[in-house]
């Protein structure tokens, strides 16, 4: 199945700007979050491989150079922390990995890459190219929440992105959440977050990237649930592999 046919069959429509909550019911995708989750889990996708990441949990996966994959928001307004390492992953401090700072530099200081632009490693090499994006609002500034962050918020034991990624990366040798790196916060609307407003993404929105090298990736359905972040309700997301 081609990427074009996949897009048509999944009915992933495009949005170019944030809509207020009251407009979302009448515009964009007609499927509910539950319907999207069923669609991606049950409906055959030929060679496509789909993994639904439960709310407030993580998932790690390998991607070969030139392969495309998508991160899909199933229910809307859910931030996904994305991290990646050059394959094979090594817990060494000298390992090559995705870098927010080198990416921001390559983008001229901007914190939101656009389709056709790249994410870079800490050795200033192209790691991913953005191929398609129905949200066009992401973040390269914020950190991944971790257990220490929630302890300072008087929420000990709260799920965190750092813990989610560390658990998902255990099969590759990651031993502790302190090994995680700064994330690419997919679907995070940082300027509006500081104003205590909503994220942009709707059910079925996605970001598609192409790997420029063999990589190990990890995602976390961000569990931060304060101040209306993530719509105030943490939800599942999906990763779709081998789409082109």
Q: What tens digit of pLDDT does each residue of 46-60 get?
A: 457 899 999 999 999
Exposure of 20 by Cβ count < 10 A (0-12 exposed, 13-18 middle, 19+ buried)? exposed
- Give the chain's mean pLDDT: 82
CA distance 45 to 17: 29
Token reading at 124: 């200033």
Q: Which of 9, 47, 49 is closest to 31 using CA atoms?
A: 9
Identify whether 63 is part of a domain. Answer: yes
Identify whether 47 is part of a domain. Answer: yes
Identify whether 18 is part of a domain. Answer: no
Residues in the chain: 244
Identify whether 14 is part of a domain. Answer: no
Look at residue 91 in the predicted model and tell me its pLDDT. Answer: 82
CA distance 52 to 132: 20
Identify whether 17 is part of a domain. Answer: no
Domain span at residue 122 reads: 3-7+23-241
Look at residue 83 in the predicted model and tell me its pLDDT. Answer: 98
Identify whether 12 is part of a domain. Answer: no
The sign of the CA dihedral 191, 196, 199, 200 is: negative
Q: Are 96 and 121 in contact (CB under 8 A)?
A: yes
Higher-scoring residue by pLDDT: 7, 217: 217
Provide the whole-model pTM. 0.81
Identify whether 106 is part of a domain. Answer: yes
Identify whether 228 is part of a domain. Answer: yes
pLDDT in tens, 142-175: 999 999 888 988 888 889 999 999 999 999 999 9
List of residues 6+ apart from 106 with CB closer than 8 A: 117, 118, 120, 124
Task: Tally the domains of the chain.
Answer: 1
pLDDT in tens, 81-133: 999 999 999 887 789 999 999 999 999 998 789 999 999 999 999 999 999 99
């Amino acid at each position: 199945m081609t990427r074009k046919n996949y897009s048509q069959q999944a009915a992933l429509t495009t949005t170019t700007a944030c809509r207020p909550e009251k407009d979302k019911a009448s515009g964009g995708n007609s499927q509910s979050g539950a319907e999207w989750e069923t669609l991606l889990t049950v409906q055959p996708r030929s060679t496509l491989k789909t993994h639904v990441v439960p709310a407030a949990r993580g998932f790690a996966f390998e991607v070969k150079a030139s392969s495309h994959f998508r991160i899909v928001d199933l229910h809307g307004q859910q931030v996904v922390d994305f991290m990646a390492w050059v394959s094979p992953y090594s817990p060494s401090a000298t390992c090559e990995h995705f870098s927010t700072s080198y990416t921001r530099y390559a983008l001229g200081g901007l914190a939101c890459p656009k389709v056709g632009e790249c994410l870079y490693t800490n050795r200033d090499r192209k790691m991913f190219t953005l191929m398609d994006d129905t949200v066009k609002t992401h973040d390269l500034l914020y950190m991944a929440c971790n257990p220490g962050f929630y302890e300072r918020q008087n929420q000990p034991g709260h799920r965190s992105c750092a813990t989610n990624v560390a658990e998902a990366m255990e099969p590759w040798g990651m031993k502790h959440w302190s090994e995680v790196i700064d994330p690419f916060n997919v679907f995070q609307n940082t300027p509006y977050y500081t104003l205590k407003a909503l994220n942009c993404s709707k059910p079925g929105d996605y970001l598609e990237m192409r790997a420029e090298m063999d990589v190990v990736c990890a995602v976390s359905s961000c569990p931060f649930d304060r101040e209306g972040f993530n719509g105030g309700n943490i939800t599942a997301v999906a990763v779709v592999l081998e789409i082109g």
